[in-house]
Amino acid sequence: MEAMLSEHPQVLLVRVKESHLQRKPVVYLGVRGYQGIVDSEGVVVRCYKGDWKVGERILLHEQFDFIPDRWERAGELRFIMTDKHVRDRIDIGIEDRWDYQPEFDRALQLSYSGEVKQ
């Protein structure tokens, strides 16, 4: 994990405000499902590493191999690692994103700032 974090100059906690999903039907090993392309708009909640500011708008583009029938991202907290600080859409790979976990949040805060914020 530390190696992955050190590879990226930007490590963020983002709250997804809205997301738009495009579904593509697929059949894998006889199971019907959907691949998905998701474009989201969010806001930076924490910047553990890098030069993003809290409250800054961020646009994300993600691809998923499998999307469940029910899909809702609005309001979700996500950890994002990126090499960019741009206004344009940022492509996020599967290895560059994680769903929020309080323990990971605390660990990142301690690693980068030495203190934990509520």
Instruction: Judge whether residue 75 has pLDDT over 80.
Output: yes
29 inside domain = yes
Please, are residues 12 and 48 in contact by the beta-carbon 8 Å criterion? Answer: yes
Token pair 């983002």: residue: 14
117 inside domain = no
61 inside domain = yes
% of the chain with per-residue pLDDT over 70: 94
Q: Residue 22: which CATH number? A: 2.40.50.120
Q: How many domains does the chain divide into?
A: 1
Dihedral sign for Cα 77, 108, 45, 21, please: negative
pLDDT of residue 47: 96
Instruction: Judge whether residue 3 has pLDDT over 80.
Output: no
31 inside domain = yes
98 inside domain = yes
Cβ atoms within 10 Å, residue 92: 20
Q: Tell the burial category of 96 from Cβ atoms under 10 Å away from its Cβ (0-12, 13-18, 19+).
A: buried
